[in-house]
Amino acid sequence: MKKIYDFSKKNIGYILVFLFSCLFGFLIPYTHDDWFWGTSWGLQHLLDNFDNVNGRYFGNYLAFALTRSRVIRALLYGIVFTLITFLINKIVSDKKKYTTIILILLLTLELPVFIQTVSWTAGFVNYVVPMIGVLAFIYLNKNIFNDKETFYKYTFIIMLPLGIFNSLFMENISIYNIIFVIGLIVYYLVKTKKIHKEHILYLLGCIIGTAIMFSNSAYGFISNGADTFGNRSIDSGNFIVSFAHKYLHIFSPDLIFNNYILVVVLSLVLFKILHSLKEKSLFSKLIQGYVIFYSVYATVLNFINIGGPYFRYINYLNGILTFIYFIIIGLIIILYMPKEKRTMLLMVYISIILVIMPLFVVNPVQSRCMFPPYVLLMLLVVLFVKEAKIENRYILICLYIILSILVIFRLYVYTHAYVVDINRINYIKLHDSEPEITISELPHKEHFFISTPANSDYAPKFKEFYHIKNSQNVIFKPCE
């Protein structure tokens, strides 16, 4: 009993993360593609081994399982978010002192990205789950990145399966894995004249996993512009125009600009780091001024609804300012961070870029695609927080209060939606013989991804998922 008590006391933060994540995972309703995976449509694609769907095999298997059991989904939510918190903590430090800020950054993630990943089962399995593997690889390279030139003992054993695992969720992450590890091999070959067997094994696993992924027939149809599953295609138009459009409407706002809480935290930390320099140049002072200006500007603009003819020009300005801000982050790493910390920071910074780059050549790109680079950006922020050496009991108390408010708010939204969902399931059972039924939409619709079937394609899937007869007409009414 004493061992259990000591373990619980030592890991109370992770235990709470696990329990609340499990609760969120149980309460969140099923929406949109979840109706596809949780019905005969999903079963048929499973029997066909997802041929002409995609090569995200691990994500597809998880989607099939999680849409059939709230309990399994709850457990996976608990495991995944606890591991994300644990791995970021372990990468940054061996202490658990950054759990609160990690959770605040997660819970204040921009709403379109949040609802398409955290609040949506089909998005969760493909965009959230693979970040465990990405963070695990960075953690296993922690000593190498910190110039200690040694891996943890027996690391080589898991590198091959980890590479395969990391390559069967998202296409851009599969490509990132290969480019990143090849870059590491070249970097350390030039730097130390050595090739680490761990990197070779990981590369082999990534190649195997990526080959399995892209062997799916769907990618042949996508490359030929004949995809019928999700209207996906390779961008064959004006690349510069497409690049600018995706950057201005997805990458800039959904990754950085609209995540003003993260921007404020990062800007204050960078200001503190630059302010602590023994020798301050005019350039460092200009950077200090810019990061504070950008954080204030982004915060204000997120609370002002600018529409009409001015929106386009404001969006252009936001994109330019965000690009400068991101470049400044890289310059701070190169020019002002200690040499022994620079490699880790640069590797994370470069990873953010590499995860995004493949998205520039495919269509469509949605807000949910920004969750993986956002997690890496969170890691970068926490690494900067450590370097800023901010130790203040009152700040920690404020962070606890903020986190408590965020958790209570999410619990309220998810609990309300769960109660309404269960009530309408019971209503459907009681009125299964009626030719027409009127059921409530979910409350807080803005916090869920397409919670009411928006077109005729999803109406049959919704009916089957909720065991509504095909002959019954369904009318949706706003939640009271």
pTM of the model: 0.94
Query: Is 196 a domain residue?
Result: no
| C-alpha span between 137 and 114 (Å, rounded) | 24
- pLDDT for the residue 309: 75
Question: Taking each helix axis from N to C terminus, what angle separates 282-302 and 310-336, rounded to the nearest 10 degrees?
Answer: 140
Query: Is 354 a domain residue?
Result: yes
Contact 273, 384 (CB under 8 A): yes
Q: Residue for token digits 């027939």?
A: 217
Q: Helix H segments across 215-259?
A: 218-223, 239-246
Query: Is 90 a domain residue?
Result: no
Query: Is 283 a domain residue?
Result: yes
Query: Is 275 a domain residue?
Result: yes
Give one DSSP letter per residue of 140-158, joined into a string: HTHHHHTT---PPTTTHHH
- pLDDT for the residue 237: 63
Give 48: exposed, middle or buried? Use CB within 10 Å, 0-12, 13-18, 19+: exposed
- pLDDT for the residue 226: 52
Q: Could you say which residues of the chain have pLDDT below 70?
A: 1-2, 4-7, 147-149, 221-238, 307
- pLDDT for the residue 413: 96
Query: Is 338 a domain residue?
Result: yes
> By residue range, what is the domain housing residue 311?
236-391
Nearest to 418 by CA among 354, 479, 475, 350: 479
Query: Is 46 a domain residue?
Result: no
Residue 303 token pair: 């609370």
Query: What's 249's DSSP letter?
Result: I
Query: Is 85 a domain residue?
Result: no
CA terminus-to-terminus distance, the chain: 49
Q: What is the tens place of the pLDDT at every residue in 151-184?
A: 777 888 999 999 999 999 999 999 999 999 999 9
- pLDDT for the residue 261: 96
Residue 199 token pair: 């990197």
| C-alpha span between 125 and 73 (Å, rounded) | 10
- pLDDT for the residue 228: 56
Question: For the chain, how many structural domains are there in total?
Answer: 1
| C-alpha span between 116 and 192 (Å, rounded) | 43
- pLDDT for the residue 425: 92
| C-alpha span between 191 and 329 (Å, rounded) | 24
Q: Helix H segments across 28-125?
A: 33-37, 40-47, 57-66, 70-92, 99-107, 111-115, 121-123
Single-letter residue type at 136: A
| C-alpha span between 373 and 118 (Å, rounded) | 15
CA–centroid distance for 152 within its chain: 27
Q: Residue for token digits 């007409």?
A: 473
- pLDDT for the residue 229: 55
- pLDDT for the residue 432: 86
